[in-house]
Amino acid sequence: MVIRDYEIGGGVTYDKPTSDAVELQIDKAKYFAFEVNDVDAYQSDLKLMDDWSNDGGEQMKIAIDSSILSTVYGDAGMAGATAGAESGNINLGVTGTPVEVTKANVIDVIIDTAQAMDEASAPDSDRYIVIPAWMSALLKKSELRDASIMGDGTSVFRNGRLGMLDRYTVYTSNNLSKTDEGSGVVPTNIIFGHKKAMTFASQMTSMETLPNPTDFGKLIRGLNVYGFEVIDPKVFGHLYAMKG
């Protein structure tokens, strides 16, 4: 969109913005399948099929989440030791020299990623950062124990809610991938960005209950197809970090 100077009587020029079509390949799939024997079903007081189907759905979410987080960071436009579209001096970590995060600097590290977002002109709203459990624990041990840091009446140390930090919605995930560099050095591939950076589609295309042809009981199976793609890497970042 073009911003122009206005002069009285000078008329108005209208732009004609168009939306770029994004073609997303739904080219990945995962499934679960299990059998329930009639003897097990009758001996159990639990509804085995319902319980196991629900568990299959939860494990499916974890598997898809892990699939995305294990690869998507490679498409980040903000990464490396010289990140920052304007400054070029924001250290987000590289192989061999990951950013070491402690309770003393964890807030500073997150604010550095937010600076990279600012320099990329990312919108203030709908920003997110996904951190591992060890980094979440460092946040709770840090100055976030002071409620005023988060603008809340109760500190994160007391209520356990990470909430918002420097315009980020902070999420914790055990599904972030790690890189084993040897000698006990295993950094985590942390991601951050704006929601417009990536597109994702998923659908449970099949959920079936079938008679077991070789035994007494039923066969239950489910198929989920999905796809994802980074479409705006400029506002998507990769923090390569380890616990210091």
pLDDT tens for the chain, 244 residues: list them. 677 787 787 788 877 766 565 565 777 788 778 787 876 665 565 566 677 667 777 888 888 888 888 899 999 999 999 999 999 999 999 999 999 999 999 999 999 999 999 999 999 999 999 999 999 999 888 876 554 444 555 444 433 346 788 889 888 889 999 999 999 899 999 999 999 999 888 887 778 888 888 888 888 888 888 888 889 999 999 999 999 8
Residue 162's identity, in one-letter code, is: L
Angle at CA 159, nearest 5°, toward 135 and 141?
Answer: 35
Report pLDDT for 158.
39
Contact of 60 with 225, CB cutoff 8 Å: no
Nearest one of 38, 23, 84 to 218, comparing CA atoms: 38
Report pLDDT for 163.
73
Give the count of beta carbons closer than 10 Å to the beta carbon of residue 216: 11
The model's pTM is: 0.75
Structure tokens at 182: 């040897």
Report pLDDT for 229.
87
